[in-house]
Amino acid sequence: MGEASTSIRLNPFKGCDGPEGTPVPWSPYGRILAERPNFTLDPLFHAGCYYVQDSSAMFVGHLFRKHLPDKKGLRVLDLCAAPGGKTTDLAASLREAFGDDFELVANEVMKARVGILADNVGVWGDPNVTVTSADPAVIGRLMKGYFDVLVADVPCSGEGMFRKDPRAVAEWTPELPGICAARQKRILADVWPALKEGGLLIYSTCTYEDCENDSNLEWLASELGGEIIAPEDEFPDYGVRLTRCGSLLKAGEVPGEGQWAGALTKTASVASSRCKIADLRPLESRLQIFDEKIPRVELDLQQALRYLHRDTLFLPEAPLGMLVVCYRQHPLGFVKNLGKRCNNLYPKSRRIHMDV
Annotated active-site positions, please?
A: 206
Round to whole Å and give the CA distance between 101 and 263: 23
| 51, 60 Cβ separation under 8 angstroms | no
Round to whole Å and give the CA distance between 129 and 131: 7
In what side-by-side order are the strands of the sheet with 22-24?
22-24, 27-33, 6-10, 50-52
Round to whole Å and give the CA distance between 48 and 328: 13
Q: What is the largest CA-CA distance in the chain?
A: 69
Give the up-direction half-sphere exposure of residue 246: CA atoms within 13 A in the CB hemisphere.
30
Q: How many CB atoms lie within 10 A of CB 216?
A: 24
| Beta strands 342-344 and 330-337, pairing class | antiparallel
| Listed residue (235, 244, 191, 182) closest to 63, CA to CA | 235
Give the up-direction half-sphere exposure of residue 112: CA atoms within 13 A in the CB hemisphere.
0
Q: What does DSSP assign to residue 190?
A: H
| 103, 132 Cβ separation under 8 angstroms | no
| Listed residue (245, 153, 242, 268) closest to 203, CA to CA | 153
| 258, 161 Cβ separation under 8 angstroms | yes
Q: What does DSSP assign to residue 224?
A: I
> Of all helices (H) and strands (E), which one includes residue 7?
strand 6-10
Give the up-direction half-sphere exposure of residue 191: CA atoms within 13 A in the CB hemisphere.
27
CB neighbour class for 348 (10 Å; exposed up to 12, middle 13-18, buried from 19)? exposed
